[in-house]
Amino acid sequence: MMPLQSVWSRLDGFMTQWVCQNGRSGVLFVCFVMTVGLLVSHAPLAYGQSGPLVVGEIEIIRNSIFSEAETDSTFGALALVRRTMNNLHVNTREYVIRKELLFTGGELYRPALLDETERNLRELGFLNQIRVTAVDTTADGRVNVRVEVRDSWSLKTNLTYSRSASGDTRWNVSLSEVNFLGQALTMGAGMGADENSSFHSVWFRKRRVTKAGLEVGVDYSQREDGHYRNIFISRPFYALGDRLSLETRAWDSLGDVRYFLSNAGPAGADPTAEESLYVLLPKHQKQLEISSLVRLSPQNEGRVWRLGVGLEIKDSEMDVGRQSGWVLSDDREVSLDYLTEPYDPFAREQGVTVYPFIWLRTQGRTWTEANYVLQYGPTEDIPMDWSLSLKSGPTGSSLGSTTGFGGSSWRSELVATKWMGLGPGLLMVQGFGEGQWGAEGNGYHRFNMHSGWLFSTGAERSPWLTRLIAEVGHGENLTGEKALLLGLNRGLRTLDFDGMAGDRLVRWNVEQGKVMPWEVLGMAHLGFAAFYSGGCAWWDDESRSLQDARHEVGLGLRLGPTRSANALTSKLDLSWALDGSRGPVFTAATRGFF
């Protein structure tokens, strides 16, 4: 007779196909079957057993940032730097690593848990060259396991400066320790300024507090125009087999925000204008969110399904009535009283929103290891099964919401990702969407989708890197805060920070890079790139379209740390607009696909 767990595993594939073919009715059916699966997965059976083998001794090997051979093979200043880094850095404590292991001595041996432990240790961010391997099997069926890691330099210094073509500047200086005294404790502080105001900030994070495995964090930032305060306490999913997650988060933010306006609207002067139009508005927002998820599928096999509930309470206020005239980004002074009129998106978002939601999340168990995908050298774990996160629930006045224009409303939020092999590389598709519908004036939607083909050819240590990436976005009845943005940090270096905005967006990038076969001072991979980018963002009522897209070309330097907890790729680029309007423009960034 077939075990109940095997039956459930086969149902998993059927449920996935059913959801794709039957939409909402498919989701309801899946929820019913998963409830049955929950009972099955907790039946008193030794499900998922791979045989009589059990985990034996677990050996932890912790290596310094630079090995003894690496320090002994260098001389002069470089040798001094390497020895100094090793001496100043405190290696990760053994107990910290043991807490992250998904297996203990005497348990049934499951090879998949060794691979998952490797991925979890890499996710910590301060370990490198991680190997979790079975090294020996004793005569009595015990599999001895070796866990070997190399520490990274965990003191992160960050110095950034960027200046847009219009003269706006952003700078930031920060210092953070992400593995304080080797105990997986993060503390940091920084200061800087953006185009709105200067600021200083501090933050704190600690994993696995108490035996319950809680994670706690605090952020505090003081700005010239306000503040940001955030605190959270959570018990996240540390493993695919974990049964329950909990999270409570609260924050309070006050400051000026860029509220984008259509050039064809009441405040606009020229519906054909290319540059985005915006006003700085003071915004005060307080928010509380509580959520919990429970695993419904079997612990150790098949697709992972999680179902939960949550509650979000948000109080937002932007006071446009405190003065009669507001200075826009084009230096004109206008009245914004029209924003408070009924059925305007701005008026819809003012007040308290109560949003109870049902939360569905799913992901697969197939992963691949790769290099030079989103980072520039370190081993990356790429999930090869599709994943989805869906929140949905009511937000109407009957729940206590004062936002909107009365009556009932329903909101949904969706994130979906799929990676797949294509030729010599990987194809990525990622979508984000949110929407609300119900009584008149309460409805809106916003979505955008990234798609990219990323591949490498040539020698393993010095490959050619090719990236073909595009994004498309669409919105309706959006507030100025939710506008789709295109700019210096969003795909086009020769624009201002948020040079184009609207409820329509298309952008693309083609980049050809080359990795050098050496590490700079033994601490970073170096590469060079040439790229072409294009795109456009606009409001639907403006007299512009994709035919008005901006085009640019550029050359850049790529630097990917290999011995640092900060593995983000630094991009230093010179760009020229193909219409000759701007260039060369220098930019430095460590974010985004392109």
Question: What span, in angstroms and rounded, lies between the C-alpha atoms of 536 and 550?
Answer: 6
Distant-in-sequence contacts of 385-388, Cβ < 8 A, 24+ apart: 385/303, 386/416, 386/417, 386/418, 387/361, 387/362, 387/363, 387/416, 387/417, 387/418, 388/360, 388/361, 388/362, 388/363, 388/414, 388/415, 388/416, 388/417
**pTM for the structure as a whole:** 0.85
- Distance between CA atoms of residues 527 and 456, nearest Å: 13
Q: Do the beta carbons of residue 410 and residue 436 sit within 8 Å?
A: yes
Is there a contact between 213 and 233 (Cβ–Cβ < 8 Å)? no
Q: How far apart are CA 576 and CA 585, in angstroms?
A: 7
In the 3-class helix/strand/coil scheme, how is 124-175 assigned residue by residue?
CCCEEEEEEEEEEECCCCEEEEEEEEEECECEEEEEEEEECCCCCEEEEEEE
* Residue 414 near residue 434 (C-beta atoms within 8 A): yes
Paired tokens of 565:
């907890």
Does the structure show a pLDDT above 80 at 173? yes
Q: Residue 214 class from Cβ within 10 Å (0-12 exposed, 13-18 middle, 19+ buried)?
A: middle
**Euclidean distance between CA atoms 167 and 185, whole angstroms:** 38
In one-letter notation, the amino acid at residue 590 is T
Give the confidence band of 107 by pLDDT, cuts at 50, 70, 90: very high
167: pLDDT strictly greater than 70: no
Residue 191's DSSP bridge partners are 173, 200
- Using alpha carbons, list the distances in angstroms from residue 137 to 101, 131, 140, 145, 308: 19, 18, 8, 9, 41
| Amino acid making up residue 495 | L
End-to-end CA, the chain: 54
Question: Is the per-residue pLDDT at 27 higher than 60?
Answer: no
Contact 203, 219 (CB under 8 A): yes
What is the average pLDDT value for the chain, to the nearest integer?
87
Asked if the domains 56-152 and 236-589 are classified in one and the same CATH topology, the answer is no
> Nearest CA to 470 among 432, 508, 506, 505?
508
Q: What is the pLDDT of residues 186-225, one digit of tens each?
A: 999 999 987 778 899 999 999 999 888 999 999 999 999 8
Note the pLDDT tens digit of each residue in 392-415: 999 999 999 999 998 899 999 999
CATH of 236-589, one of 1.10.20, 2.40.160, 2.40.128, 1.10.260: 2.40.160
For the chain, what percent of residues have pLDDT higher than 90?
Answer: 67
> Tens digit of pLDDT for each residue in 460-519?
889 999 999 999 999 999 999 999 999 877 788 888 878 899 999 999 999 999 999 988
pLDDT of 13: 53
Residue 379 token pair: 């081993």
Mean pLDDT of 139-150: 94
Rg (CA), the chain: 26
Contacts of 309 (CB under 8 A, 6+ apart): 291, 292, 356, 357, 358, 359
Cβ-based burial of 59 (10 A; exposed 0-12, middle 13-18, buried ≥19):
exposed
pLDDT in tens, 64-106: 999 888 888 888 888 898 999 999 999 999 999 999 999 999 9
**What's the token pair of residue 244?**
């329950």
- Residue 25 CA: distances (Å) to CA of 20, 32, 160: 10, 11, 50
Is the CB of residue 249 less than 8 Å from the CB of residue 289? Answer: yes
| CATH code of the domain occupying 56-152 | 3.10.20.310
Cβ atoms within 10 Å, residue 173:
14
Residue 152's pLDDT is what?
92
Residue 561: band (very low, low, confident or very high) from pLDDT cuts 50, 70, 90: confident
pLDDT band at 17 (very low <50, low <70, confident <90, very high): low
**For residues 33 and 31, what is the distance between their CA atoms, to the nearest angstrom?**
6
pLDDT, mean of residues 5-25:
46
Partners of 306 in the β-ladder: 295, 361
Residue 374: closest CA among 430, 291, 316: 430
Write down the domain spans for the chain: 1-47, 56-152, 236-589
Rounded average pLDDT over 438-455? 94
pLDDT at position 4: 40
